[in-house]
Amino acid sequence: MNSRRKFIKKSTITTFGLPLIGLNKNGCMQSEVGLDKIFPSVISTWNNRKANEAAWKFITTGGSALDAVEQGVRVPEADPEDQSVGYGGRPDRKGIVTLDACIMDSNGNAGSVSFLQGIKHPISVARKVMEDTPHVMLTGAGATQFAIDNGFEQTNLLTEKSKQEFEEWKKTSKYKPVINIEQHDTIGMIAIDRKGDIAGACTTSGLAYKMHGRVGDSPIIGAGMFVDNEVGGAAATGMGEAVLKSLGSFLVVELMRQGRTPFEACKEAVMRIINKQQFEDIQVGYVAINKKGEHGAFSIQKGFNYVITQNEETQLIDGQFFRK
Ligand code: SD4
């Protein structure tokens, strides 16, 4: 059996079988295989199993962490059934799908696009910004033009399903994000490759029916995602405004630098929002992994989960949360 098939088979077994990882005394998910460092590792927000598998394939066949996160998040970007990311994403209140994404490598290089329209793979445009321009971030028409100039195809991202839902929404035009089904599934992914180098990516169509021109946390380095090769990485999902106001992913990484476990760091970043902002009817969740391969998550509300792939096993883990 080739290694790819073996992986798929094994990961299926793991889903329904005994977990190979558990909660240590700090509430941090940790491997029990006794390894000091667990590389490679891939972690993603929500049940983005297929994205993890795509990233894993790259990372175990010699790809870098950067290649892995790009290829991994391209899976939901191309999936019309994922209505929070890329093609098939829910539109803003003008009926236009606008995309935000960012990417960061182990040398601290970063690239990002926001308010991008008509391009299926914002993460690859963000990588191009990082690698081929002197800038970090391109936005709106400039970002779209940059993508076209670099050979990205223009395409209609609004699927019939998302269009119909939008037409329904317009009948009341009520804008009240609902916890967890607030059109979530934004993918934030962190990978550590065999060399121990880290990279991260985050991509989304943002909040459904947002104001035209609204940009969330996902393309902002340090808000939607942040990695530091000395420490680890973190990614955010949920109400971007709350994450932006606390620069959450950067905060999580800095807390890990000070010695907190990934779980403790995510919890502290969530508590920062709870203590300073209106939090009752919003969701924010963080995932984090450190350079030992320990991982954790925490969210404001119940319902946030993440997928972790290590040692050929992929597991869906329910994050801990502040309240039910
Ligand atoms: C945003 N944080 O645009 C994104 C939305 C999100 O799962 O994470 N959805 O605010």
CA distance 263 to 252: 9
Class of residue 149 by CB neighbours under 10 A (exposed 0-12, middle 13-18, buried 19+) = exposed
pLDDT of 120 over the 70 cut:
yes
Ranges of H-type helices in 175-237: none
Assigned CATH for 12-323: 3.60.20.30
279 versus 297: the higher-pLDDT residue is: 297
Which of 26-30, 45-49, 162-166, 252-256 comes out lowest in average pLDDT?
A: 26-30
Beta strands (DSSP E) in 38-98 are 41-45
CA distance 99 to 97: 7
Instruction: Say if ligand 1 is within 6 A of residue 210 CB.
Output: no
Mutation probe of ligand 1 site: the residue of 180, 184, 205, 270 with most atoms within 8 A of C-beta: 184
Confidence of residue 6 (pLDDT cuts 50, 70, 90): very low
CA distance 3 to 86: 30
Instruction: Say if ligand 1 is within 6 A of residue 89 CB.
Output: no
Q: Which residue has the tokens 């829910």?
A: 90
Structure confidence at residue 11 (pLDDT): 34
Structure confidence at residue 324 (pLDDT): 63
Structure confidence at residue 90 (pLDDT): 94
Q: Is 155 a catalytic residue?
A: no
Query: Once rounded to an integer, what is the mean pLDDT over residues 175-183?
Result: 59
Query: Once rounded to an integer, what is the mean pLDDT over residues 239-253?
Result: 97
Confidence of residue 1 (pLDDT cuts 50, 70, 90): very low
Residues 286-324 have pLDDT tens digits of 999 999 999 999 999 999 999 999 999 999 999 999 986
Q: Which of 165, 166, 207 minimizes the C-alpha distance to 186?
A: 207
Angle between helices 3-16 and 49-59 (to 10 degrees): 140
Percent of the chain residues past pLDDT 90, beyond the cut:
80
Give the number of the atom of ligand 1 that is nearest the alpha carbon of residue 45.
Answer: 7
Q: Give the contacts of 194 (CB within 8 A, at least 6 positions apart).
A: 39, 40, 59, 60
Report the chain's mean pLDDT, rounded to a whole number.
Answer: 88
- pTM score of the predicted model: 0.89
